Amino acid sequence: MTAEFAVALPAIALVLAATLASVHAVALQVRLADAAADAARALGRGDSVDAAAGIAGRQVEGASLTVVDDGEFVCATLSSHPGGVLAALELRSESCAMRGGL
């Protein structure tokens, strides 16, 4: 009984750690999507890139912002790493807004 428990316990801990890391990564992806949309709207209103990065940084600390402006639309792409067990994974979200929108 003790030997079986000693073998099963690390497997259970590994599954639990992977599950918790996955839930954290999904929550981060949702925050990235919301922050990218907020940053794109701010850029569409005419705010500066620094202001948009500040808006995104309040929602997702440590995320990097990339901006693409084609004149009619402005797109904000945020990327971040979840850390922990999934630190090698890079999560990314992009949102676009029309220039001059209110």
The pLDDT, as a whole number, for residue 86 is 85
The number of domains in the chain is: 1
* pLDDT tens profile 33-50: 999 999 999 999 999 999
Whether the full predicted model's pTM is greater than 0.85, yes or no, is: no
* pLDDT tens profile 54-93: 999 999 988 999 999 988 999 999 999 988 888 899 999 9
The answer, yes or no, to whether residue 51 has pLDDT greater than 90, is: yes
Measure the CA dihedral 74/80/82/87, to 10°.
140
The pLDDT, as a whole number, for residue 85 is 82
Q: What are the phi and psi torsion angles at 28 (to 5°)?
A: -65, -40
* Burial degree of 33 (CB within 10 A; 0-12, 13-18, 19+): middle
Q: Which domain holds residue 32?
A: 2-98
Q: Which residue stretches of 1-102 are H helix? A: 2-45, 49-59
Q: What are the phi and psi torsion angles at 80 (to 5°)?
A: -160, 160
The pLDDT, as a whole number, for residue 41 is 94
